[in-house]
Amino acid sequence: MRGFEFEGKVGLITGANRGIGACFVDALMDAGASKVFACARKRDSLDWAVEKYGSRLVPLQLDVAEPSQIDEVISRVSDVDLLISNAGRGGSGSVHELDDAVVRKLFEVHVFGPRLLITGLLPGIIERQGGIILVQSTAALAMSRGGPMYSASKSAATFMGMGLREDLRKVGVKVSNVHPGFTNTDIIATYEIAKAEPPDVVNVALEGWANDEAHVFTDLYSQMVHEQVVAEMNELLFDPVVAGTDLIAEYRRRTES
């Protein structure tokens, strides 16, 4: 087993302006990156990173739901060792009531956009024997009680990552799906539950990728979901709401005792 090393290498991170994405920026820089392409929907939301890292940080405007912006990034970037697909969005609501535009956006952000970006940057990644990290969610493996279509999009993205891994391992490119659990970011800021800290999640994710792990479970809740998938798949398939409720209750018991 070896830890994460990135001296003199180049990274590209989507959703890099805050939360887990911003911590990926810091982690790559701390590990010695020569350059990081940091992508966000609003370029000026990356001013903090430019101020902190100077010319080593290249800010790029990128909404991964906009193919024209993806094409623009691909045209500007060729030398990438590690692509971190982190941009995401939430989407709560029932399958039949959720607005169609919201559902389509979930799949554009989590599946179709990342696929276009990966496809465009892949020749350079292969040439440099680099890799890809796809930041998913525990909801990809165990259905979100409040957002089943969010789970559907993250599950599709996870299987996409698995397919990439199988295709690319023969050419020396490492691909990992990363499944954070409850993490201390804006998206669940008001949810009263124990949360992992983003820098810790990122460090585990990068070490897992460096060690060529297919799926990386970054924190206690994430690891508990993995254990549930292994031991209780029948319950997850046939009564996912009860299974999820029971798991969260057990997580609260462990973290609040």
pLDDT tens for 164-217 read 999 999 999 999 999 999 999 887 878 899 999 999 999 999 999 999 999 999
CB 71 within 8 A of CB 112: no
Give the type of residue at 192: E
In this prediction, residues 208-237 reach a mean pLDDT of 96
Query: Helices H, strands E: what count in the chain?
Result: 10, 7
Q: What is the mean pLDDT of the chain?
A: 95
Tell me the mean pLDDT in the region 40-57. Answer: 97
Both tokens assigned to 150: 């969010």
The one-letter amino acid code at 222 reads S
Question: Looking at the chain, how many residues does it have?
Answer: 257
Task: Give the separation between CA 122 and CA 80, rounded to whole angstroms.
Answer: 9
pLDDT for 2 equals 59
* Mean predicted confidence (pLDDT) in 90-110: 92
**Cβ neighbours of residue 208 under 8 Å, at least 6 residues apart?**
176, 178, 216, 218
Q: What average pLDDT does the segment 228-247 reach?
A: 94
Which pLDDT belongs to residue 1? 43
Q: What percent of the chain has pLDDT over 90?
A: 89
Helix (H, G, I), strand (E, B) or coil at 200: helix
CATH class, 10-219 region: alpha beta
How many Å apart are CA 99 and CA 91, to the nearest integer? 10
Among 62-66, 79-83, 153-157, 253-257, the least confident range: 253-257
What number is the average pLDDT over the span 237-244?
Answer: 94
